Chains A and B, each alone.
Chain A
Amino acid sequence: EAQVTQNPRYLITVTGKKLTVTCSQNMNHEYMSWYRQDPGLGLRQIYYSMNVEVTDKGDVPEGYKVSRKEKRNFPLILESPSPNQTSLYFCASSLSRTSGRVRYEQYFGPGTRLTVT
């Protein structure tokens, strides 16, 4: 089954304790991305990656790190979480090439609800 998986789904942590949220896709997508969703602000892009070893900042990258060592995985790292990073996080993957046609539809993971106290 084609899917994007994220772990953990729920996480409560304390300020300053490093954490990693994993993301994996099995669709051979080149593009992967992390978003956070907050009430009234919609989905905001944190970081994205066009391919292995290629990452770029989105609109709200401060306080986050990412890596893309393999095509299927794109972990999100919070080195020193703070309460303003309490949010709902989504990983997504995109960009497939079929019969010479490029498709940009994004498919989302189930989300990670993070609370930082």
Chain B
Amino acid sequence: RKEVEQDPGPFNVPEGATVAFNCTYSNSASQSFFWYRQDCRKEPKLLMSVYSSGNEDGRFTAQLNRASQYISLLIRDSKLSDSATYLCVAHPNTGNQFYFGTGTSLTVIP
């Protein structure tokens, strides 16, 4: 079983829509979680960090459910510029590795 699993999509949503991605992780020792966005053939860029139950930044909200071992990303009022691949990452603070999901593809349609 993979350490981190994401629905690969693709998600095709109209502008202005709200879209949510889920990510499950298998290592219960994971303490830090991150969402990155990656544009085609570019480096991943940090979108949000989650160290406790959740985080909110403008149109983006990340929530952590430790009991069910999943983390979600909610994007409200989608913009064309939100089209990208979103990567979920788990990091057990006691360990030294970062575990990436394979990414969820989002396309926002005019």
- Which residues of A are interface residues toward B (Cβ below 8 A)? 31, 33, 35, 40-45, 48, 50, 56, 58-59, 88, 90, 94, 102-111, 113
Contacts known (A42-B87, A105-B34, A105-B49); A50 close to B44, Cβ less than 8 A: no
**Beta-carbon contact of A107 and B46 below 8 Å:** yes
Counting contact residues on chain B (CB < 8 A from A), the size range is 20 to 34
Query: Given the complex, which residues of A lie within 8 Å of B43, measured CB to CB?
Result: 90, 108-111
Nearest-CB distance from A63 to chain B (Å)?
19
Nearest-CB distance from A50 to chain B (Å)?
6
**Beta-carbon contact of B34 and A110 below 8 Å:** no
Number of A-B contacts (CB under 8 A): 51
Query: B22 at the A/B interface (Cβ < 8 Å)?
Result: no
- Which residues of B are interface residues toward A (Cβ below 8 A)? 32, 34, 41-46, 49, 87, 89, 91, 93, 96-98, 100-103
Closest residue of chain A to B2 (Cβ to Cβ) is A42
Contacts known (A106-B46, A108-B43, A111-B41); A43 close to B32, Cβ less than 8 A: no
